Copies of this chain bind each other. A is one copy, B any other.
Amino acid sequence: MASILVVGSVALDSVKTTEGESVEALGGSATYFSLSASHFAPVSVVGVVGKDFPVKYRRLLEKRGIDLSGFHEMPGKTFRWVGKYGADVNEAQTLETHLNVFAEFKPKLTAEQARSEVVFLANIDPELQMEVLTQMRRPAIVACDTMNYWISSKPEALKELLARVNIFFANEEEAKKLTRQPNALRAANVLQEWGPDVVVIKKGEHGALLKAGRKTYAFPAYPLEQVKDPTGAGDTFAGGFMGYLASCNGFGDLSQLKRAMLFGTVMASFTCEEFSTARVEALQKHELHGRFDDLAERLSVPVDPVLIAAN
Contacts and interface: CB of A to CB of B under 8 A. Distances in A.
Given A182-B18, A223-B218, A311 B298 contact: no
Interface size class for chain A? 35 or more
Interface string A211-233: 00001111111011101000000
Contact of A221 (B218, B221, B224, B296): B218
A40 to B, nearest CB: 11
Copies in the complex: 2
Contacts of A306: 248
27 contacts: A18-B182, A87-B182, A183-B205, A183-B225, A183-B227, A185-B223, A185-B224, A186-B225, A207-B220, A209-B223, A216-B223, A217-B299, A218-B221, A219-B220, A219-B299, A220-B220, A248-B306, A255-B302, A255-B304, A256-B304, A258-B300, A259-B302, A262-B301, A296-B303, A299-B301, A300-B300, A300-B301
A246 to B, nearest CB: 13
Contacts of A300: 258, 299-301
A289 interface: yes
Given A255-B301, A299-B299, A301-B262, A218 B224 contact: no
Contacts of A209: 223
A189 interface: yes
A289 B248 CA distance: 34
Nearest to A258: B301
Interface string A153-164: 000000000000
